[in-house]
A and B are shown apart, each in its own frame.
Chain A
Amino acid sequence: GAVVSQHPSRVICKSGTSVKIECRSLDFQATTMFWYRQFPKQSLMLMATSNEGSKATYEQGVEKDKFLINHASLTLSTLTVTSAHPEDSSFYICSASGQPLAKNIQYFGAGTRLSVL
């Protein structure tokens, strides 16, 4: 149980295009979803937290107009990187927590490697 699916696993795009990453909870209701970014040899840095049906809460320094997060249902959240540039190239990973699971345990997707040319 507690499976989180993230797609795509890898995406390469041209500078200036937008990229959408999907995060789905397959066997539980994800009341809260989290989006992280990881640079090489660094920790997973929380970008934003979203609750189903509400606007996402962004961490300090994260541009909300750049990284659009939608959590419209209890099983799906999306992260859209708008007008992507090479500096947005990174590893993005989502996690989810919810019912009927323990509130303080997050379950992670496998991540998306974004390369912007």
Chain B
Amino acid sequence: DQQVKQNSPSLSVQEGRISILNCDYTNSMFDYFLWYKKYPAEGPTFLISISSIKDKNEDGRFTVFLNKSAKHLSLHIVPSQPGDSAVYFCAASWTSGTYKYIFGTGTRLKVLA
């Protein structure tokens, strides 16, 4: 049972435009959500996170939106840059216990120059 889903395995966006990556989850007990970026041959690096008490968190070009009623979160990158080309994973977590993550399958973003 895949509790966290990223239904788009890949996405191509023109440089300067907005990239929107989506993630859906099924477990309403998740209360913390994160986005990680992964380049080839490197480990995932933390990008941005959001607590379930918020519906938006912004950090520079990156904004994460959370819709709890729809169990959906999205990552917006504006403007997109070629260096943003990577695989993006969303993860869901609980802010209790060991804070373990449940990851989605990832979306490969390609930003075209």
Contact = CB atoms under 8 A, between A and B. Distances in A.
Interface string B29-44: 0001010100001111
A4 B43 CA distance: 9
Interface stretch (A62-70, A72-80, A104-112): A104-112
Contacts of A41: 9, 105
A15 B67 CA distance: 48
Interface string A42-59: 111110010100000100
A93 interface: yes
Contacts of A105: 34, 46, 49
A91 B3 CA distance: 21
A45 B89 CA distance: 12
Interface in A15-66: 32, 34, 36, 41-46, 49, 51, 57
B17 to A, nearest CB: 26
Interface in A83-117: 93, 95, 97, 103-111
Interface in B73-113: 89, 93, 95, 98-106
Nearest to A108: B43
A110 B104 CA distance: 18
Contacts of B104: 43
A103 B99 contact: yes
B2 to A, nearest CB: 8
B98 A49 contact: yes
B43 A93 contact: yes
Contacts of B9: 41
B99 A43 contact: no
Nearest to A49: B98
Interface of B: 2, 4, 9, 32, 34, 36, 41-46, 49, 89, 93, 95, 98-106
10 contacts: A4-B43, A44-B44, A44-B103, A49-B98, A49-B100, A93-B44, A105-B46, A106-B46, A110-B41, A110-B43
